[in-house]
A and B are shown apart, each in its own frame.
Chain A
Amino acid sequence: MNAVFYISAAVAVLATALTVTRANAVHALLYLIVALLAIAMIFFILGAPFVAALEVIIYAGAIMVLFLFVVMMLNAGPRALAQERDWLRPAGWIGPAGLALILFVELLAVLIRAGGVSAAAAPLAPREVSLALFGPYLLGVELASMLLLAGLVGVYHLGRHTEPDEGGKE
């Protein structure tokens, strides 16, 4: 199981690095999807199959498809590609990379201090997750659903079909 964890973790890190450095937006998105799948795999190994499935369904399956949809609609040509390459010059990414390095060193320090964290937690079945969500965290779930409802109403309003002769009223 440890080997599977390290392989998935390596895939996640590598895919994320490639996501940042690709000039072609669709290729970058594909690597991001791979990173999300690798993270789902890690959740699965850690004993959270429900979260792993939700990660794939919601992040990899729905949100990323919307990203892809937008990128496809924009249909960026070779000019956008050249522009993107231009933005990816060292001057642009040295700052963020340096800050990320500080975080990485911090993480290493914490891990070394803690003497290695065990990955073996008790497996969590969907039932326990649901009981927690609709028990102590019910308020959070309801608030999130209200937020989503607001988004839904907003989208419906924006996407409403208006008759040409009513154009002025809107």
Chain B
Amino acid sequence: MNPTLHQVLVVFGVLFGLFGVGALLTWAERRLLALWQDRYGPNRVGPFGLLQVVADMIKIFSKEDWIPPFADKPVFVLAPLVIMVATLLSFAVVPFAPNIEIANLNIGLLFFLAMSSLSVYGVALAGWASNSKYALLGSLRAVGQMLSYEVFMGLALMGVVAQAGSFGLRDIVLAQRGLWFGVPQFIGLGIFFIAGLAETRRIPFDLPEAESELVAGFHTEYSGMKFAMFFLGEYIAITLIAALTVTLFLGGWLGPWLPPLVWFLLKTFCLVGLFILIRATLPRLRYDQLLELGWKRMLPLALLNLIVTGAVILWRKGV
């Protein structure tokens, strides 16, 4: 196939695939939560309630898209866009299969970290522009949480970078041919996954939108399509963290018998299921517990992991 055409197809395939996955996850999450909590979940519209997604879409498109008169209008409109764009852009460096990848950057991992630090702005600006106290409190919490957890999210990944000898995600997958990095880097895997939960603001780290204290946190004032963008952005972010965990620690597309893309999707959706299982079982942390866990447990552990990894690599080289 013509390489340009192939590239264009991959770009649009990934984009629409992600929108589809995000929409389907709104249904899958409710069904799985219901399963684990002994309820039915949405099972009325269509087979297994699958058409619930369509019903929700009709509802959200026909809702009034209201901008509060007291809000800072341009920033209010910009905020959900920032989250969506930053999350979608991160997928540009994810290698789905040997020939399905948008950009093979030699700084792929840093690009992901850069985009995830930009998505903080979406949350911060949403809360500030809403000009309401619940939204502001929610976004202040979100900024504190995401900034803290970003620090050791990056540190936890450096062990993988040291072992693979590259920031490029394709090189990292290829370096896992013998053994998945999840085995020697099990501490890094755990820290990255926990930090990923905090970055996507999921239970048990959903303090920025704790409904029992802050109404809905930073997106309290949002409605209609703009609210849907936050919602969809969250599901795409979950898929992103799952896809990256697979790429960095669980061998990416590598696996026997099945085609590479199928392996990648299978592993990714197992991890998304784990995200939902965690939401179904764990309670929410208190804010000081959250920061204490981050700075006093995770950060030293990530540093220790990095030092040991470095020492082992040097010892093996016989320096």
Which residue of chain A is the closest to B151 with respect to CB atoms?
A: A62
Q: In the complex, A69→B141 CA distance in Å?
A: 10
Q: Which residues of A contact B154 (CB under 8 A)?
A: 57
Q: Does A9 contact B (CB under 8 A)?
A: no
Q: Are B113 and A65 in contact (CB under 8 A)?
A: no
> What's the dominant secondary structure at chain B's contact region?
helix
Query: Which residue of the partner chain, among B106, B111, B124, contacts A68 with CB atoms under 8 Å?
Result: B124
Query: Which residue of the partner chain, among A26, A54, A56, A57, contacts B72 with CB atoms under 8 Å?
Result: A26
Q: Which residues of B contact A75 (CB under 8 A)?
A: 136
Query: Which residue of the partner chain, among B110, B125, B143, B150, contacts A53 with CB atoms under 8 Å?
Result: B110
Q: Does A131 contact B (CB under 8 A)?
A: no
Q: Are B114 and A57 in contact (CB under 8 A)?
A: yes
Q: Are A53 and B114 in contact (CB under 8 A)?
A: yes
Q: In the complex, A41→B117 CA distance in Å?
A: 16
Q: Does A4 contact B (CB under 8 A)?
A: no
Q: Which residues of B contact A60 (CB under 8 A)?
A: 114, 117-118
Q: Given A62-B117, A65-B143, A126-B167, verify A72-B136 contact (CB < 8 Å).
A: yes
Which residue of chain B is the closest to A44 with respect to CB atoms?
A: B107
Query: Which residue of the partner chain, among A30, A33, A57, A69, contacts B110 with CB atoms under 8 Å?
Result: A57
Q: Are A61 and B140 in contact (CB under 8 A)?
A: no
Q: Bits for B123-144, please: 1 = Cβ < 8 Å to A, else 0.
A: 0110110000000100110011
Q: In the complex, A57→B106 CA distance in Å?
A: 16
Q: Does B53 contact A (CB under 8 A)?
A: no
Q: Bits for A45-60, please: 1 = Cβ < 8 Å to B, else 0.
A: 0000110111011001
Report the minimum CB–CB distance from B117 to chain A (whole Å): 3
**Residues in B81-116 with C-beta less than 8 Å from chain A:** 105-107, 110-111, 113-114
Q: Which residues of B contact A27 (CB under 8 A)?
A: 74-75
Q: Are A26 and B128 in contact (CB under 8 A)?
A: yes
28 A-B residue contacts at CB 8 Å? A24-B72, A30-B75, A30-B78, A49-B107, A50-B110, A53-B107, A53-B110, A53-B111, A53-B113, A54-B110, A56-B114, A56-B118, A57-B154, A60-B118, A61-B120, A61-B150, A62-B147, A65-B117, A65-B120, A65-B124, A65-B143, A65-B147, A68-B121, A68-B128, A69-B124, A72-B128, A72-B140, A126-B167
Q: Report which A residues bind B (CB closer than 8 A).
A: 24, 26-27, 30, 33, 49-50, 52-54, 56-57, 60-62, 65-66, 68-69, 72-73, 75, 125-126
Q: Report which B residues bind A (CB closer than 8 A).
A: 72, 74-75, 78, 105-107, 110-111, 113-114, 117-118, 120-121, 124-125, 127-128, 136, 139-140, 143-144, 147, 150, 154, 167
Which 9 pairs, one residue from A and one from B, show the smallest C-beta to C-beta distance?
A61-B117, A53-B110, A56-B114, A49-B107, A53-B107, A57-B114, A72-B128, A65-B120, A53-B114
